[in-house]
Structure 1
Amino acid sequence: MKNFTSLFKLLAYVIFLLVSSCYPISPEFVSDFDSVFTEKSNADFDFANPAIQTYYLADTVIVLTDPSVSDTNLEVDFELVLNQVRFNMNQAGYTEISDSNLATQADFLVLVSVNRSDNYFSTWWGGWGGWGGWGGWGWGGCCFFPPVVTTSNIRTGAIIVELLDGKSLPQRNQTIPEVWYGVGSGLFRGNNTNLTTRTLRAIDQMFLQSPYLNR
């Protein structure tokens, strides 16, 4: 799914840095690995249409985390997340429809979801030979066998904000077309305050790099 493309890119980048740890690297903080990606899901959708003025924000953050992912005490404050999305939509010039009974009248339906993933990888060192090498001669003495294998886990997290076209709302139980989405991803490390602060910053960045959303 394209919502998780940035997660795979982040994972590859972090693994590269870890296996290259013998060289100086510039990132010093967990937040240095954060990234934000936004995209228009429907290239034909007219974001400049002045008739688009309202939105309805779902009051629940959807958790997409795989149940097999180990539990953690680290959590993001979902209420602050929803309020930050609401703040940015209001700042962009939209008017919120807060009554769920009137949600179908909104121009945009806004969904927020989060995902956390455990990404395991293995490294090894050692190899052929052993003391004395083949036959006790020549190239031996530098390595050992069997090789030593270690497994590490990089935990990543993502915040996803989606805008659905409320005016194209089909019949009940059918898919509502998505017109825009933003993904903020990074390492799921730090304390609760740090995670929440970085998540709120990612939401701000989504709207900052999508100026066409402004009224």
Structure 2
Amino acid sequence: MTVKNLRFIAIALAAVAVSACQKEPSTSDLHKDYLVYTAYDTDADFAAVETYFIPDSILVIGNNDKTEYWKDADALGIVDAVVARMDAAGYVRSEDKQAANVGIQMSFVKQVTYFVGYDNPYWWWYYPYYWTPGYWGNWGGWHYPYSVYYGYTAGSLLIEMVDLDAEEAADRKLPVIWDSFIGGLLTSDEELNQQRTLAAVEQAFDQSPYLTK
């Protein structure tokens, strides 16, 4: 790894199963730089994707007892960064989620810590207002076609791409064909937090070259 690359601790998760749990590395010895993890379904044909739908807000995962969305200028800036990279990759944003090939859902972990394991990746079951498959259509659950071993902690940004062309039925699960976990974003400087988040979104796409037409 070059000195230039040390700013980004970027780890692409393999699609094969791993035997040990992977915890979020401590940032104490990394100059408090953020971490970017990405994972994807190796069987997904990203070049065949034409359109995508993305909400104009970020769901907040915290200790609130009701659904909370992040919609201010900073949130819209993050959404716009994702849109810009999707557009640059050749995909077209759709205003109709029912007509889109894929959906992109974004979540910010504000105050809580959850663990995701390959055998039971449904960490959001412990949080009643996480994105639900019903937001996208008539699916009965989620499906990750790759291994998932994450420790999500406060200050993490999650970006997930779901396959809306998957067979839709109450007994079927909606596949998450790409996701990114970004950790280590929070400092005492809100402006720096935003700069880190935007840079980390760029890094998530940079290390996912398969996301292209």
Task: State the shift of 1:156 in Å.
Answer: 4.0
Higher helix share: 1
Segments of structure 1 that go 5 or more residues without pairing to the other structure are 18-24, 69-74, 120-154
Contact 1:64–1:116, Cα closer than 8 Å, also in 2: yes
Partner of 1:110: 104
Deviations 1:140-170 (A, max 9, x none): xxxxxxxxxxxxxxx8411111111111151
Matched, 1:213 2:207: no
Segments of structure 2 that go 5 or more residues without pairing to the other structure are 1-12, 14-20, 66-71, 114-152
Tell me the TM-score normalised to structure 1 length: 0.60
* Percent of aligned positions that are identical: 25
Distance in 2 separating the partners of 1:175 and 1:26: 38
Q: Structure 1 counterpart of 2:207, which letter? A: Q
Q: How does 1:1-215 map to 2 (within 5 A)?
A: 8-10=23-25, 13-14=26-27, 17=28, 27=31, 30=32, 32=33, 34-40=34-40, 42-49=41-48, 52-67=49-64, 77-98=74-95, 102-117=96-111, 156-168=154-166, 170-171=168-169, 175-215=173-213
Deviations 1:62-90 (A, max 9, x none): 1112349xxxxxx9821111111111111
Contact 1:84–1:203, Cα closer than 8 Å, also in 2: yes
Q: How many residues align?
A: 149
RMSD across aligned positions (CA): 2.9
Tell me the TM-score normalised to structure 2 length: 0.61
Distance in 2 separating the partners of 1:26 and 1:43: 30
